[in-house]
Structure 1
């Protein structure tokens, strides 16, 4: 088994664990952590796949930096939403979001 295959397997494993956590978790914080696992697994797979292409791996590294930037922006927005929900409903259950009226 090559190193690239191992990196791809770890990336797919992180993605699958994140998907499982996203489906199973009922709190916003748990869903947020699962979503971060999905993003990290995708970023790892992008970098590993870029090593298989011809030329240098700069393209994959730039794509991974872009994914990391998206993850940081997503983390900022999710934490702000979680803080508003907890402040308004006193807990972070997903069911509380359905009670919001806008």
Structure 2
């Protein structure tokens, strides 16, 4: 079980470093957020197995559903923004206000 907890911690910190180190591309930031949520879900499932409780697995499933919706909406916004502006750089995202 310790190996899975190390893996989930590693996934979370890789996602965190992806956000901290790359602040130019919105797509990489969204992928880093998804990687952090994946590490968090793995942590929920592992603790659910360790504690012999179903709540962690149910919560992980709910987080996955919310993450899928967030990813779909975020990618739809990125496609529309790319079609109108021609790039997806964070420095120019203040132009999305309208």
- Number of residue pairs matched by the alignment: 97
Richer in helix (by share):
2
Displacement, 1:85? 1.6
The one of 28, 31, 35 equivalent to 2:29 is: 31
| Aligned-residue CA RMSD (Å) | 1.3
Q: For 1:40 and 1:101, how far apart are their aligned partners in 2?
A: 30
Query: Could you say what secondary structure the match of 2:97 adopts?
Result: coil
Is there any run of 5+ residues in structure 1 with no aligned partner, and where? none
In 1, the alpha carbon distance for the partners of 2:72 and 2:12 equals 21
The residue number in structure 2 matching 1:7 is 4
Deviations 1:21-65 (A, max 9, x none): 012221111111111101100000111111222xx4422221111
1:82 Cα deviation (Å)?
0.8
Normalised by the length of structure 2, the TM-score is 0.89
